[in-house]
Homo-oligomer: A and B are copies of this chain.
Amino acid sequence: MKFLVIGGDAAGMSAASRAKRRQPDLDITVLEKSRDVSYSACGMPYNIAVPDKEIETLVVRPAQVFRDKQGIDVKTGHLAQAIDPANRLVSGTNDAGIAFEEKYDRLLIATGGTPLVPDLPGFDLPGIYALKSLEDGRRIKAYIHDKAVKKVVIIGMGYIGLEMCEALRARSVDVAMVKPGPVFLPWLDRDLADTAQEEVQKNGVDLHVGYAVKKIEVTDGHLTVRCDGLDLDADMVLVAMGLKPGSELAQAAGLQTGVQDAIAVDPGLLTSDPNIYAAGDCADAVHVVTGEKSWIPLALRANRAGWAVADNVCGGKVELDGIAGTAVFRVFDLEVARTGLTLSEAERAGFHPASVTVKTRSRAHAHPGSTPIRVHMVGDKESGRLLGVQMVGREGAAHRINAPAVALHAKMTVSTFSQADLAYAPPFGPVWDPLLTAANQLLKKL
């Protein structure tokens, strides 16, 4: 049987590797448009922060190892351009300009996400980058070095933009950030977002909220980002305005797409075609809180879905529960974490939510080194269910978020969560963990 995979990153290579381990006689080919497979994309900002560190250290396993040691036919530089479901055929062009065709019995579309880049003048100039592939990272790093970049404008203030602003500040590069929307981190509770905003500004980053970019111009090799009422100079511009699902190939093949144009998959990752799976940032998932389809591109889901596809291709019957939308990022010395729904997402999903925001301490009373930790918690007044949690703090926010994430999978009430026997020792938190303090406060509103 021939298992063909389009896309050689998290979902695609997880699926190929696991399928080969489970069924060594399986004929597996991976088509990857770039020259890189199996790398830690999320690690790129941290690598870019360190001038002398090879970007190749992010590669977990090179293509040649997949070929030689695992017997997986990894074809880099192969861009898939069309899927013919009736004939089980994928066609495309390789980087030598030569057309190719690949037959399949089972196909996995793991085409990932595509950075949103507006169709405005100047966004195709040299020195304008989005950060998605390892090749993007490689180019950005080389450009910073070759042009001795001293000033960067980042368009967008999502977590990739914020991680990159930290990386650039670590290299003493001046950073200005600009976004069209009126609010910094709009998905965060205001009190938590303000804390994050102060942290970014304290580290010398200029934030410009509410400015729509009109065009980018170049003069004497220097770039100018022109907005309504604001011009920003830069040696380099990073476009970090978010992602969309890379679902064009699937759509053109007639596969069903849904929320935000992500490829619609069942709990076993099967698309509307019985021989085609989709996994990773191009596919949708059921949200465990709403029970509805949602599109939240995250690395763990991509890896997990890749494994599930491998198991199902090899005759298994694995179904995934869904996602809670758990995410964390670091911005300078601050940890920002979330799981589940925000208050407004909960309202839109038809719940009757209430929320609280509490500020407590990261360590016990009188313990040295304690810092503020903020928790925002959302619950449903009708069912009493826990719907979402957000945390911001200098320590203990990142890992703490996993406790409410598990509670969301269990569809736990705030009341039951408030009774959880969480760990306590003075170096790690107050007797009443910040999560429990938030739950106790929220209970009064439910």
Q: Which A residues contact B (CB, under 8 angstroms)?
A: 10, 40, 42-43, 46-47, 57-58, 60, 288, 298-301, 303-304, 320-330, 335, 337, 339, 364-368, 396, 398-410, 412, 416-417, 419-429, 431-433, 435-436
Contacts and interface: CB of A to CB of B under 8 A. Distances in A.
Nearest to A59: B366
A427 B330 contact: yes
Contacts of A432: 300, 303
Contacts of A368: 46
Scoring A42, A301, A366 by chain B CB atoms within 10 A of each residue's CB, the highest score goes to A366
A315 to B, nearest CB: 17
A50 to B, nearest CB: 8
A423 B410 contact: no
A421 B300 contact: yes
Given A43-B365, A367-B46, A325 B421 contact: yes
Contacts of A47: 366
Contacts of A405: 403, 420-423
Contacts of A367: 43, 46
A303 B429 CA distance: 15
Contacts of A326: 421-423
A112 B433 CA distance: 21
A301 B402 CA distance: 21
A364 B43 contact: yes
Contact of A406 (B10, B303, B399, B412): B412
Contacts of A321: 416, 419
Contacts of A436: 300
A423 B409 contact: no
17 contacts: A40-B365, A40-B426, A300-B424, A300-B436, A303-B432, A304-B419, A324-B420, A329-B425, A337-B423, A398-B427, A398-B428, A399-B402, A399-B423, A402-B402, A402-B435, A403-B405, A409-B412
Contacts of A412: 406, 409-410
Given A408-B421, A409-B421, 5 more contacts: A324-B421, A328-B423, A328-B424, A328-B425, A409-B419
A406 B400 contact: no
B339 A421 contact: yes
A398 B420 contact: no
Contacts of A424: 42, 298-300, 327-328
Nearest to A362: B399
A399 B421 contact: no
B57 A327 contact: no
Contacts of A364: 40, 42-43
Contacts of A422: 300, 326, 402, 405-406
Those 4 A-B pairs whose CB atoms lie nearest each other, nearest first: A410-B410, A399-B399, A402-B403, A328-B423
A320 B419 contact: yes
A303 B288 CA distance: 32
Scoring A322, A400, A409, A433 by chain B CB atoms within 10 A of each residue's CB, the highest score goes to A409
Nearest to A404: B406
A369 to B, nearest CB: 10
Contacts of A429: 399
Contacts of A419: 304, 320-321, 409
A402 B46 CA distance: 28
A372 to B, nearest CB: 16
Nearest to A299: B431
Given A366-B47, A366-B57, A422-B326, A431 B400 contact: no
B431 A10 contact: yes
B399 A420 contact: no
